[in-house]
Structure 1
Amino acid sequence: MATLDGRPVLTRRELSDAYEMSITHREKLYRERESNSHPEAVGTVSRALVWYAADWDQWHRRHTDVAGLESRADLHARTGVGLSTLQLLWRGRKANRHPEPEKTIGNTMYWNPETWDAWYQGYKANQQWRTNPDLSGNAEDLISLSEAARVLGMEPTSITKYPVQPPKHWPAPAEETTTDKGSVKRKYRRGDIWTYAERRERGGGRPAGTTKTNWRYPYDGDPRLQQARTAIKANPETPAATLAGQLAREHGGTAGTWSHIVRSAQQHPE
């Protein structure tokens, strides 16, 4: 081992061999020394930068000490929050103010659990208006609009207007086809629906099971009412029961529910 001023020193390659890390990773640590306190080189030996072996070892021990900290896997194991959800929360940190990690070692980030828990409690309190998305399945799957509603924990009829009146952050369909009858069928990437679930804002659809208490009349404010009004105008001679069946096939839901919506549309054609 070479010495400098009587003290043992190591080159970048020798450090990589001694601590079993790639030279690329060592160079990354050195480039980020302003944030990670990596020691400065103390000189050169045969034109190679060198560091005091004892000083570098002391720094490395501090840098890799994660006692009391938790990685994403640790957070998942302790809190039960899914790994995919944790990843989405981190990607959305600009909007949700997710805390920065206390340490990053290699590609693994570590957080102070007390800091993370305090943030997450506040985040959940602010998200109580949201439904809980179903995060099972493959992100690359293509799913229908009604399946997207199920993933979001919402009634299918509550998002039927999204393709033509998209709320903020609603994704574009990954696949779009037109049937022989002229209706448009859309498929969405499941991962894009997960992203929307995290980024959506208040007013982005009515959760399943909720009701509106300030109706002026039945189905006031429900997008299905306007769909029924449009169908009535286009087919003024068609019986209500027939229209209800057609609307159920086109937009989902039951003919019985649509018959009530059609009746309200007839009574309130505004």
Structure 2
Amino acid sequence: MTTLDGRRVLTRKELAGTYGLSISHLEKLYREREDNGHPEAAGMINRALVWYAADWHQWYERHTDVAALESRSDIQDRTGLGLSTLERLWAGRKSNGHPEPEKTIGNTMYWNPTTWDTWYEGYKANQQWRTNVDLSGNAEDLISLSEAARVLGMDPTSITKYPVRPPKHWPAPAEETTTDKGFVKRKYRRGDIWTYAERRERGGGRPAGTTKTDRRYPYDGDPRLDQARTAIKENPGTTTAQLAGQLARQHGGTAGTWSHIVRSARQHPEDY
């Protein structure tokens, strides 16, 4: 047993053997010590850095304590959502407000399940406003136009003109072939249809079952307008950008869209 100042110490190689970690991972943990709290080396023995065994063990237990957190795999098992869907939600975090992980160990991220569930409920509510979007399946799947309509929760006949008169944000087909009779068959990437579903409120694609009405002003009749009015009332003096970010986190959607809604609420403050 090697000691320093009367206390047991371990080299990086000994830490790797004791805790079943790779040398490269241990080096990474030490490089990131300003962020993760990794203890400083106690000194050097035979030109190798050493750490007090008790201090390092205490830190490592705290660092790896994820009993109350959930990895992506845990969330998948609990919610039944597909792995590709969870990965897509994380990839779109800048626009959809997906929470950052509470802890990252190696390449595995961990989230507070309460925080994640609160965000996801808001995200789903925002999706339902647009139509009930089917988020199952693999983002890389190629699907027909009629299947795209089903994913969007829309009547297939309502989007038959999209390929020739595309609404704003409608994706280009990933595959296009012409039959012997001259009919064009188009296939769309499922992930591109999901992206359109998230962005279409700013362009085309009215939700199924709705009709065009004469709006008195932007977002007239949209339930989010009342949410913005309430936020303005409860947060006097808060800037539009700050309110937009707050509402996006609370209710889902993008801060950019909420900025438009907040501006409309300020210009038409009735009912609050």
Supply the distance in 2 between the matched residues of 1:163 and 1:48 (Cα, whole angstroms): 65
In terms of Rg, which structure is larger?
A: 1
Q: Alpha carbons of 1:56 and 1:203: their partners in 2 closer, same or farther (altered >3 Å)?
A: same
Supply the distance in 2 between the matched residues of 1:151 and 1:95 (Cα, whole angstroms): 20
Q: Is the 8 A contact 2:174 2:187 kept in 1?
A: yes
Supply the distance in 2 between the matched residues of 1:187 and 1:181 (Cα, whole angstroms): 18
Map of 2:153 onto structure 1: 153
Partner SS state of residue 128, structure 2: coil
Map of 2:251 onto structure 1: none
Q: Is the 8 A contact 2:102 2:111 kept in 1?
A: yes
1:44 paired with 2:44, answer yes
Q: Is the 8 A contact 2:133 2:197 kept in 1?
A: yes
Map of 2:256 onto structure 1: none
**How many residue pairs were aligned?**
214
- 1:148 is displaced (CA, Å) by 1.6
- 1:61 is displaced (CA, Å) by 0.2
Amino acid at match of 1:54: A
- 1:81 is displaced (CA, Å) by 4.2
Q: Alpha carbons of 1:164 and 1:59: their partners in 2 closer, same or farther (altered >3 Å)?
A: farther
Amino acid at match of 2:211: K
- 1:42 is displaced (CA, Å) by 2.6
TM-superposition CA deviations, 1:100-134 (whole Å, max 9, x none): 11111222221122322332333333333123333
Q: Is the 8 A contact 1:71 1:108 kept in 2?
A: yes
Q: Please, which runs of 5 or more residues in structure 2 have no aligned partner?
A: 215-272
Map of 2:56 onto structure 1: 56
Partner SS state of residue 84, structure 1: helix
Amino acid at match of 2:95: A
- 1:205 is displaced (CA, Å) by 1.5
- 1:33 is displaced (CA, Å) by 2.2
Q: Please, which runs of 5 or more residues in structure 1 have no aligned partner?
A: 216-270
Partner SS state of residue 129, structure 1: helix
Amino acid at match of 2:174: A
- 1:161 is displaced (CA, Å) by 3.8
The Cα RMSD (Å) is 2.8
Q: Alpha carbons of 1:169 and 1:66: their partners in 2 closer, same or farther (altered >3 Å)?
A: farther
Partner SS state of residue 128, structure 1: helix
Q: Is the 8 A contact 1:177 1:186 kept in 2?
A: yes
Q: What is the identity percentage for the equivalent residue pairs of Structure 1 and Structure 2?
A: 80
Partner SS state of residue 176, structure 1: strand
Partner SS state of residue 157, structure 1: helix
Q: Alpha carbons of 1:41 and 1:162: their partners in 2 closer, same or farther (altered >3 Å)?
A: farther
Q: Is the 8 A contact 1:88 1:195 kept in 2?
A: no
Q: Is the 8 A contact 2:10 2:50 kept in 1?
A: yes
- 1:94 is displaced (CA, Å) by 0.7
Supply the distance in 2 between the matched residues of 1:181 and 1:165 (Cα, whole angstroms): 22
Partner SS state of residue 30, structure 2: helix
Map of 2:177 onto structure 1: 177
TM-score by length of 1: 0.67
